[in-house]
Structure 1
């Protein structure tokens, strides 16, 4: 044990503030979109907009990416989104993939869970990666899009004047203050959101009393990467301890404070070090270690009632605070960004009514309530809020030692993709009644290997490789042929400049290469989608199903897309 703090094995670049051209203290250029907050969510929004050709200004109060592990688990769904944003390589090269975890009650293993993983998947269920790495890899991708992403460091929002046609932000920097005008503002400025406070908005829900100390340490170990949970361990009796291995020999340890413990005293190194050492002794880790970072955390299950307020949109922790148990925080924020970016881009480009943005709020508020439902159950088990919950937990853990059927109650319910079952964008349910299987409208496109044939060459790939910053029409046929009326629809939508792609999915390989197509070489794709020749699915730019038919006409497809893009506002 080394009592001296070590720096992270990662050095962040420091950035200076800059002042744009001004006229009487106001920036001369009015911007289409200004994003407040340069964390993972803000960077994802900026990259998503850039994929649609929409420029943004990103305001960040700090001078570099964050310090401390913070968010550490990135889900498969988030990795799919990050791949479309052009930042996946660093996540896979540096991150530590894992598929499951173990829970222990005192000295006995009571649960060994595994997340869904099968031969159809391209990406791992989860990757461990500290938030400073997450931000850096997204920042690297953003800097490659500097023509469309203007990042302004050391710039704080002092005030906002929000109006029905836009907003004016009062900004403060070490180099001076100025005002910026923007058509749209996306608030990604975290749990203590300045924008949210300035607009007088409040998060609603439940704040839990249970507190956790979070410690990052450096420890060299060959232990496999998995999620470890210890209930009532000998190292910290009566509490819960979570352990995650991270890249660069960094370990993240979260341990629960006992009732009555003083938070200020609890985070002092002289009180943290013995507890960590006791935990490592219990785990059988004998190597030398050093602390890096210590903080404290209290679980919250809170959300705004709406995420759109005129021209201001909220995402990530600025919109909702989700308990860490089940790793839904950063992952739900990345999903917010993915949902918002394409809708905002189409509204900015005049390709959709801005009422489309009401569906961002509808869908992501629904998703937050889903996440809070699972997160609340996990929190009540991990940090019981009352004597009754504590009694229930002890009973479950005691029974789980000998009764396997009880062990599912210990499962932390890791984050998974949300199905927007009640989305106002979904095609009428009647259109889907002919299907007995396959993804319903609102569901995320499932993964499946395919052979992709493009420009005369072919490669092994996956279905998600075909999804880009556009609507995708997946047409199933025996030979990859496309009906003439669908080709005409493709031309009509292209003339409207609507981002759109018609994709042929064939049951068999064929030699006609007049059009790019994907071949179901595994024989699993058609059954997965309950598809027969003529079946068609419409996929949104964020990978969710918009509509599906067994044998549609081009007019039905066009109507479904137009209905989504020109959705009448209930705002």
Structure 2
């Protein structure tokens, strides 16, 4: 017999309280187009995307809201652009702490500093710091305000998954007992310990790094600037390295590197956490401990993210170390990639289009894992020679610019470019590399707003300094007189350009000029057909 439902942890917000659904009283299992398991940032983002396209999305979660503890806090520019398109970005920007600069120290000395978004002409900043608690709340606020076929069921735990011919059967447990539903497609967004992955007997391979880090979210009044500060071998000796980030509401995130062979129970005692914080801040600084945890770096992924009618996204599919803010941000980009493809397949596009989700997001996961692994190896050298190299780079970097790119305190999240994707069309423009086929569209001023506002989640033809070919059913945007930023990002030295843009705002193809047949051929490729 399946175990009864219990709360896993105290809730910060009860976002989707349990309510009995009509499916529980149906004489046979009800079929849904898409069932998403997991009501975290990734599952909710996918539901928002599908629902706004008109595809019904059912989210099942085994609790009733978001749990206490800030967990993910750094949300990148691309994530904010996606959230803006989905209707939650404005709240997140209003609440979040905006930052784009960072400093790297060794002992007491600043080694170098950086600016993640030195250019103008973007709606969204490089990063905001915002507790995952509020990120999920604003997603649910947006869902509640949408006239869209989205349903989120709390305290609905999936206990079994059975793949059938043409659908997936789910056994679901609730406080009122079990029931069954069917799904044309099932998406697992149920986290790094994914029960669905285990139910299907699928592996999760990779590397666990032999080190531990203490997170301490501290509430205090402090005059540190709104920047990312990272210390190698910090003078305050609270850990082998340390990280400081400002969050909203007077909360500061502090990470301490503890080493591998530690007594976790001892390290999590309040007096020992406070001893480390006191060494860093000074014993006379008043603060409250808001949330604390110890984590171990892991860089792992599934071999494939698609298994028939079951697809995996976010931490259920791939996991990276938190330095670099690649976890939640890459997961939201999974949802952005998958949403329009699921909708298109349910509307009649070839089922093989979903294979490109696996191709593109495995590529992105490998890129994130590579960067995360390099960062972790630099942070936690495991041999005498690697530590000598790390320290030599730090010594050189203060006075020698060539050494600074080698310092890796966590390469920060950027969206992946899908080079080599089967959905990419031709590149018939000698244009900027940043807008080549497969690349995400950079924002730029356009009219009274921004370019990404008009790339609104459908296929779009973007013509700059030239005439747009007329293609029935395709959003067409003509920009005869682009802003300087838009021209620099999309034209380069060209006089004019035509772009075909995907619903997730990645470039399909580009030309100096194009005929309708050029657009149709590229569109056919991008929707899973053949040229």
**Larger deviation: 232-241 or 150-159?**
232-241
Which of these residues, 294, 319, 322, is aligned with residue 320 of structure 2?
322
TM-score w.r.t. structure 1 length?
0.86
**Larger deviation: 109-118 or 210-219?**
109-118
The answer as to whether partners of 2:459 and 2:500 remain within 8 angstroms in 1 is: yes
- Give me the CA root mean square deviation: 2.1
d(CA) in 1 for partners of 2:383, 2:91: 43
The answer as to whether partners of 2:121 and 2:444 remain within 8 angstroms in 1 is: yes
User: Which residue of the partner structure matches residue 311 of structure 1?
Assistant: 309
- CA drift of 1:186 comes to 0.6
Aligned: 1:280 with 2:281: yes
Aligned: 1:555 with 2:528: no
Which of these residues, 413, 438, 463, is aligned with residue 475 of structure 1?
463
User: Which residue of the partner structure matches residue 7 of structure 2?
Assistant: none
Which of these residues, 366, 371, 384, is aligned with residue 369 of structure 1?
366
- Residues 418-470 of structure 1: per-residue CA shift (max 9 Å, x gap): 11011100014xx426546661100111222121xxxxxxxx11111111120
Aligned: 1:333 with 2:334: no
Q: What does 1:72-221 correspond to in 2, within 5 Å?
A: 72-145=73-146, 147-221=148-222
The answer as to whether partners of 1:26 and 1:179 remain within 8 angstroms in 2 is: no
- CA drift of 1:267 comes to 1.3
TM-score w.r.t. structure 2 length?
0.93
- Say if 1:128 and 1:558 are closer, same or farther in 2 by CA, change over 3 A: same
User: Which residue of the partner structure matches residue 454 of structure 1?
Assistant: none
d(CA) in 1 for partners of 2:358, 2:346: 17
The answer as to whether partners of 1:208 and 1:385 remain within 8 angstroms in 2 is: no
User: Which residue of the partner structure matches residue 437 of structure 2?
Assistant: 441
Aligned: 1:536 with 2:524: no
The answer as to whether partners of 1:36 and 1:60 remain within 8 angstroms in 2 is: yes
- Say if 1:247 and 1:291 are closer, same or farther in 2 by CA, change over 3 A: same
- CA drift of 1:401 comes to 4.3
| Secondary structure of the corresponding residue to residue 249 of structure 2 | helix
- Residues 258-285 of structure 1: per-residue CA shift (max 9 Å, x gap): 342212221121211111111112xxx9
| Secondary structure of the corresponding residue to residue 502 of structure 1 | strand
The answer as to whether partners of 1:436 and 1:530 remain within 8 angstroms in 2 is: yes
Unaligned runs of 5+ in 2: 1-10
The answer as to whether partners of 1:539 and 1:547 remain within 8 angstroms in 2 is: yes
- CA drift of 1:18 comes to 2.6
- Residues 482-527 of structure 1: per-residue CA shift (max 9 Å, x gap): 5xxx33x22xxx3xxxxx30111112xxxxxxxxxxxx2x344334
- Residues 344-394 of structure 1: per-residue CA shift (max 9 Å, x gap): 1111122x1111110011000001111111111111112224443333223
**Larger deviation: 365-374 or 18-27?**
18-27
- Say if 1:321 and 1:213 are closer, same or farther in 2 by CA, change over 3 A: same
Aligned: 1:464 with 2:452: yes
Aligned: 1:52 with 2:53: yes
d(CA) in 1 for partners of 2:12, 2:513: 56
- CA drift of 1:241 comes to 0.9
User: Which residue of the partner structure matches residue 230 of structure 1?
Assistant: 231
- CA drift of 1:146 comes to 6.3
d(CA) in 2 for partners of 1:232, 1:534: 52
User: Which residue of the partner structure matches residue 391 of structure 1?
Assistant: 388
- Say if 1:560 and 1:192 are closer, same or farther in 2 by CA, change over 3 A: same
Unaligned runs of 5+ in 1: 1-9, 452-459, 495-499, 508-519
| Secondary structure of the corresponding residue to residue 45 of structure 1 | helix
The answer as to whether partners of 1:21 and 1:28 remain within 8 angstroms in 2 is: no
| Secondary structure of the corresponding residue to residue 47 of structure 1 | helix
- Residues 37-68 of structure 1: per-residue CA shift (max 9 Å, x gap): 00000000000101211111101112211311
Which of these residues, 379, 383, 391, is aligned with residue 382 of structure 1?
379
User: Which residue of the partner structure matches residue 300 of structure 2?
Assistant: 302
Give the count of matched residue pairs.
518
**Larger deviation: 537-546 or 20-29?**
20-29
User: Which residue of the partner structure matches residue 486 of structure 2?
Assistant: 525
Q: What does 1:10-25 correspond to in 2, within 5 Å?
A: 11-13=12-14, 15-22=16-23
